[in-house]
């Protein structure tokens, strides 16, 4: 077989892993991307070969006749713990072409059975810990290694946050490890290849432990401490395999020794204090004298809770230098980094021993000073006390993270040089997949603001904000933002992990909590529409965007449990009109101190969502072959739609809540039975937009839907007038005010430059940025026509005064792109379709056509 010279296959991918080492799946599914210039190329068949760690072929499928290339079942015997192997792929086209073999891709299983953990949980004595958010503690142990190491792996996690060192070198580049899961149900561990860090003879391993989410303060209005326990602990298992096959295991047990170090306090909200004079020099190297250190306690933990990660870790993703050095009203030095981020500062400083530099963080300035009130009870203050070294001392906090654009630097010794302070951007290290630009610079900036808000709020789990005393995994926020998130980044792994926590909390509490992981605060746990509906809508969105039917199957019990619970609450009337609701949260008409006081009846919102999620569960049941369930949930959805119409819709199509959100819900969720009702509802939505002078009048619920509802109702120009409005409230008002992220409120910053007086005012909340999905699908015109982009829909709808727009996306099949421009009344559209994909092209003024892979250009009068 002679491979086609212009046909190749990239190395296959395993599940949704970016780094497939220490994975938890025994039979990881494979995906691959075919790259070719051959036009209209479609896969006819594939071959997969598997090999062992030495490269010997262990399994070959032969030719498998199918066009599938995404999440293809693992063909060989299941992986065993610690087993490393490779996979490669060759494809055959319907046109008779064949590729060569792809490069090998490598995968390695972690510890797949609880019984394979020999490590205990080594806990520092209580007297070393102090109060929650107190000092971090070092743990260490020495061990000997003989020659001829074949490989070494460290499997590690903690109750709390950890950083591990071997022979003085930090292991890996994770930040805030092991991240935050529902620790009572799931605790992630990570596997590191540490072969290069070991040496023949004496070695040392050490770890620094801080309270983090496990023991430290979490939540608002005072928050909670000790949510998961009153003691931090390290769980580590170092396995050194020699060439002869024997294994040395170094595990956490009572032989580890503990002492405090230079981190005198560490809080996710309040910041970190570090006294460099207290650093025990060489503590993680062999030969260190730890005679004065205390032995660790071994405390109980359940290895059955340990799970391998399904997504990447939080990491330092980039650094930013200050764009300006400002002087505050009291003479304070304030650095402006030009971008609101989630991260911390790295300093390079020289000065006398005992001198302390203090760093304070804020998102915005008010009257020239840091606006600290929006932080509420988060001090967001880091402090570094110099050891007084001859050279420059470099420091970055380890166990905290802040949301900020501005930093106040107090008591800097000497001159603050141009390289003295850098902002380190920290978030889940997801792969960027989607981009958008257009001829309107402010609209393009709005899109970038949505990107930065996603970056700032995917710090291990999808949070509401990165700066104040909250930072919780609010279900409503990610429910509305999931379509945008799934375009911008490959977030399937992180959201799969979060959905596992959601299902675990749902099973424990009998409902979907308002945020996940759940921490008891001022809210009682209970169901709420649009928030709890994340249990259905987020998995459905991930299926639509990544084509992962297995994810739907895994989440099906959670999806049905939610819909069944709401059906019980709605009763025989099928109206969910009882109990607490967030409603159309942060409707711009709501008073600053009453964000739930929206123009739209919360019962209308709740019933609309009930109809929609019942419909999605019916669709899911049909996909999974659960035919009886499909019939039952379809009937439920129909009954709820009928009840909605009877209660909230007039025969002419008017709604009892005469609001933008009400009509957006009714139109987008297919709640109106008759064409004339849909037509009247669409016209009324446009009338309401015009009545409000084309300013937005929706909160969290209506905002993701209103532009689509208008466009689908034939009111495209009204949608554009809303989209391009600059007056407050609007999407572009924050851009005109200098925003670099999406605000929580439409008017988080008032026109006079002062901060909204409400107690809940964040400048980095992605929910209202969910409109970016409309930019991708409608403005640029790039959307999935089948789950996972197996088929594309190319259907840009130019409007407003835009003269061009473009979007591109790394789909599971490869790069897809659409760009268009308007010149003298002619619309020219260029579309790139990846191999093994077909696109439906629907352009104004032209009959719809279907095209295959390659680059295509179309022109039509407009």
Rounded alpha-carbon distances, angstroms, from residue 542 to 177, 311, 482, 547, 790: 25, 14, 8, 7, 14
Residue 474 has pLDDT above 80, yes or no: yes
Residues 6+ apart with CB under 8 A from 826: 859, 860, 861, 862
- pLDDT of 476 reads 98
Burial status of residue 66 (CB atoms within 10 A of its CB: 0-12, 13-18, 19 or more): exposed
CA distance 297 to 384: 30
The tokens describing 513, both together, are 């909590």
Query: Active-site residue 687, yes or no?
Result: no
> Is the model's pLDDT at 2 over the cut of 80?
no
> Is the pLDDT confidence value at 125 over 90?
yes
Specify the pLDDT at position 1: 66
Which residues share a beta bridge with 259? 138
> Angle 627-648/602-623 helices, nearest 10 degrees?
160
The answer to whether 517 touches 458, Cβ cutoff 8 Å, is no
pLDDT at 591 exceeding the cut of 90: no
Residue-level pLDDT at 377: 96
pLDDT given for residue 390 in this prediction: 86
End-to-end CA distance of the chain: 50
φ, ψ of residue 753 to 5 degrees: the values are: 90, 0
Kindly state the tokens that stand for 460: 């291990």
Contact 25, 15 (CB under 8 A): yes
- Indicate the pLDDT class of residue 640, thresholds 50, 70 and 90: very high
Using alpha carbons, select from 213, 371, 206, 336 the residue that is nearest to residue 282. Answer: 206
pLDDT score, position 66: 98
Tokens encoding 330: 């009291």
Tell me how far CA of residue 60 lies from CA of 46, 65, 67, 94, 474, in angstroms.
Answer: 11, 14, 18, 21, 45
Query: Are 46 and 66 in contact, with CB atoms under 8 Å apart?
Result: yes
Question: What is the C-alpha separation between 480 and 484, in angstroms, rounded?
Answer: 8
Q: Which residues contact 653 (CB under 8 A, 6 or more apart)?
A: 672, 674, 676, 677, 678, 679, 680, 681, 684
Q: Average pLDDT, whole number, for the chain?
A: 97
Q: For 297-346, what is each residue's pLDDT tens digit?
A: 999 999 999 999 999 999 999 999 999 999 999 999 999 999 999 999 99
H/E segment holding residue 355: none
- The single residue of 163, 470, 500, 505 carrying the catalytic annotation is 470
The DSSP bridge pattern shows strands 461-462 and 458-459 to be antiparallel
Q: Bridge partners of 348?
A: 394
The residues that bridge with 794 in the sheet, in sequence order, are 782, 841
- 596 by Cβ neighbours in 10 Å (0-12 / 13-18 / 19+) ranks as middle
Active-site residue, 254 included? no
Q: With beta carbons less than 8 A apart as the criterion, state whether 335 and 40 touch.
A: no
pLDDT tens by residue, 47-75: 999 999 999 999 999 999 999 999 999 99
pLDDT tens for each residue of 209-242: 999 999 999 999 999 999 999 999 999 999 999 9
Confidence category of residue 4, pLDDT binned at 50, 70, 90 = confident
Q: What is the pLDDT of residue 69?
A: 98
Length of the chain: 862
Whole-angstrom distance, CA of residue 578 vs CA of residue 570: 8
pLDDT given at position 844: 94
Write down the pLDDT at residue 389.
79
Average pLDDT over residues 633-642: 98
Full DSSP string of 595-622:
TT--SS-HHHHHHHHHHHHHHHHHHHHH
In the chain, the largest separation of any two C-alpha atoms, in whole Å, equals 85
Res 862 pLDDT > 90: no
Percent of the chain at pLDDT > 90 equals 97
DSSP secondary structure letters along 242-265: ETTS-EEEEE-STT-EEEE-SEEE
Distances 536 to 190, 503, 580, 629 between C-alpha atoms, Å: 29, 11, 20, 15
Which residues in 432-544 belong to E strands, given as ranges?
434-438, 458-459, 461-462
Report pLDDT digits (tens) over 504-517: 999 999 999 999 99
CA dist 285 → 104, 145, 163, 209, 289 (Å): 37, 14, 15, 17, 10
Report how far residue 127's alpha carbon sits from residue 70's, in angstroms, rounded to the nearest whole number. 53
Does the pLDDT value for residue 459 go beyond 70? yes
- Model-wide pTM > 0.95: yes
Q: Tens of pLDDT along 170-217?
A: 999 999 999 999 999 999 999 999 999 999 999 999 999 999 999 999
287: DSSP letter: T
Q: Phi and psi (nearest 5°) for 784?
A: -80, 135
CA atoms of 452 and 440, how far apart (whole Å): 19
Per-residue model confidence as pLDDT tens digits over 390-419: 899 999 999 999 999 999 999 999 999 889
Other C-beta atoms closer than 10 Å to the C-beta of 103 total 13
pLDDT at 523 over 90: no
- pLDDT (0 to 100) of residue 777: 98
Q: Which position among 49, 363, 500, 744 bears the catalytic label?
A: 744
When pLDDT is cut at 50, 70 and 90, the band that residue 5 belongs to is confident
Integer Cα distance of 89 and 9 in angstroms:
7
The answer to whether the CB of 550 falls within 8 A of the CB of 29 is: yes
């Amino acid at each position: 077989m002679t491979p086609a010279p212009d046909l190749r296959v990239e190395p296959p991918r395993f599940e949704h892993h970016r780094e497939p080492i220490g994975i938890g799946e025994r039979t990881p599914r494979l995906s691959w991307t075919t790259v070719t210039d051959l036009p209209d190329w479609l896969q006819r068949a594939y071959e997969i070969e598997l090999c062992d760690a030495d490269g010997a072929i262990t399994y070959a499928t032969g030719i498998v006749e199918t066009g599938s290339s995404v999440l293809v079942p693992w063909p060989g015997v299941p992986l065993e713990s610690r087993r490393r192997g490779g996979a490669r792929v060759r494809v055959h086209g319907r046109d008779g072409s064949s590729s060569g073999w792809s490069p090998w891709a490598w995968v390695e299983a972690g510890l797949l059975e609880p019984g394979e953990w020999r490590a205990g949980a080594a806990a520092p004595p209580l007297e070393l810990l102090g109060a929650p958010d107190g000092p971090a503690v070092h743990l260490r142990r020495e061990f000997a290694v003989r020659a001829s190491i074949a490989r070494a792996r460290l499997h590690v996690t903690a109750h709390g946050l950890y950083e591990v060192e071997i022979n003085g070198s930090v292991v890996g580049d994770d930040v805030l490890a092991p991240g935050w899961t529902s620790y009572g149900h799931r605790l992630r561990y990570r596997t590191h290849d540490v072969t290069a860090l070991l040496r023949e003879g004496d070695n040392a391993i050490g770890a620094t432990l801080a309270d983090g989410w496990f023991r430290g303060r979490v939540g608002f209005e005072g928050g909670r401490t000790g949510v998961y326990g009153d003691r931090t602990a390290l769980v580590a298992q170092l396995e050194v395999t020699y060439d002869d096959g024997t294994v040395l295991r170094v595990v956490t047990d009572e032989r580890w020794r503990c002492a405090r170090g230079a981190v005198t306090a560490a809080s996710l909200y309040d910041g970190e204090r570090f006294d460099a004079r207290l650093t025990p020099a060489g503590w993680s190297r062999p030969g260190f004298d730890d005679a004065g250190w205390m032995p660790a306690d071994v405390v109980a933990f359940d290895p059955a809770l340990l799970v391998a990660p399904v997504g990447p870790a939080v990491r330092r993703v980039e650094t930013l230098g200050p764009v300006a050095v400002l002087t505050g009203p009291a003479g304070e030095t304030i650095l402006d980094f030009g971008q609101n981020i989630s991260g911390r500062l790295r300093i390079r400083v020289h000065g006398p021993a005992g001198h302390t530099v203090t760093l304070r963080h804020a998102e915005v300035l008010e009257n020239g000073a840091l606006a600290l009130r929006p932080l509420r009870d988060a001090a967001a203050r880091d402090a570094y006390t110099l050891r007084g070294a001859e050279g420059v001392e470099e420091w970055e906090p380890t166990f905290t993270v802040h949301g900020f654009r501005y930093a106040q630097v107090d008591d800097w010794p000497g001159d603050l040089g141009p390289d003295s302070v850098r902002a380190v951007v920290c978030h889940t290290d997801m792969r960027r997949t989607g981009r958008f630009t257009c001829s309107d610079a402010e609209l393009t900036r709005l899109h970038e603001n949505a990107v930065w808000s996603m970056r700032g709020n995917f710090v291990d789990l999808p949070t509401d904000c990165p700066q104040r005393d909250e930072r919780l995994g609010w279900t409503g926020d990610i429910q509305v933002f999931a379509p945008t998130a799934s375009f911008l980044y490959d977030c399937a792994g992180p959201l799969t992990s979060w959905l596992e926590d959601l299902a675990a909390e749902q099973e424990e509490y009998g409902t979907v909590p308002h945020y996940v992981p759940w921490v008891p605060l001022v809210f009682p746990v209970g169901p709420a529409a649009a928030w709890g509906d994340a249990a259905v809508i987020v998995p459905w969105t991930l299926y639509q965007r990544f084509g992962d039917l297995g994810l739907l199957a895994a989440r099906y019990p959670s999806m049905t449990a939610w819909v069944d619970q709401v059906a019980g609450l709605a009763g025989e009337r099928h109206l969910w009109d009882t109990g607490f609701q967030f409603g159309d949260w942060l409707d711009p008409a709501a008073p600053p101190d009453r964000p739930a006081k929206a123009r739209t009846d919360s019962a209308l919102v709740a019933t609309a969502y009930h109809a929609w999620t019942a419909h999605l569960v019916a669709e899911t049941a049909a996909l999974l072959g659960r035919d009886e369930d499909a019939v039952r949930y379809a009937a439920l959805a129909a009954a709820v739609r009928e009840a909605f119409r009877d209660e909230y819709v007039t025969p002419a199509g008017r709604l009892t809540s005469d609001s933008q959100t009400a009509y957006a819900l009714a139109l987008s969720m297919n709640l109106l039975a008759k064409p004339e009702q849909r037509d009247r509802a669409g016209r009324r939505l446009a009338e309401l937009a015009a009545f409000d002078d084309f300013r937005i009048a929706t909160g969290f619920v209506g905002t993701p839907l209103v532009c689509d509802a208008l466009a689908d109702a034939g009111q495209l120009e009204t949608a554009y007038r809303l989209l391009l409005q600059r007056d407050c409230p609007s999407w572009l008002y924050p851009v005109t005010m200098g925003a670099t992220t999406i605000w929580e409120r439409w008017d988080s910053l008032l026109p006079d430059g002062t901060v909204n007086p409400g107690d809940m005012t964040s400048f980095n909340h992605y929910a209202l940025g969910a409109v970016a999905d409309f930019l991708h699908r409608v403005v640029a015109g790039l959307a999935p026509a089948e789950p996972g982009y197996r088929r594309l829909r190319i259907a840009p709808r130019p409007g407003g005064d835009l003269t061009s727009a473009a979007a591109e996306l790394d789909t599971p099949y490869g790069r897809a792109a659409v760009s268009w421009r308007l010149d003298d009344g002619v619309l020219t559209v260029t579309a790139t379709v990846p191999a093994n994909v077909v696109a439906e092209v629907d352009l104004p003024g032209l009959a719809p056509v279907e095209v295959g892979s390659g680059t295509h250009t179309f022109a039509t009068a407009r």
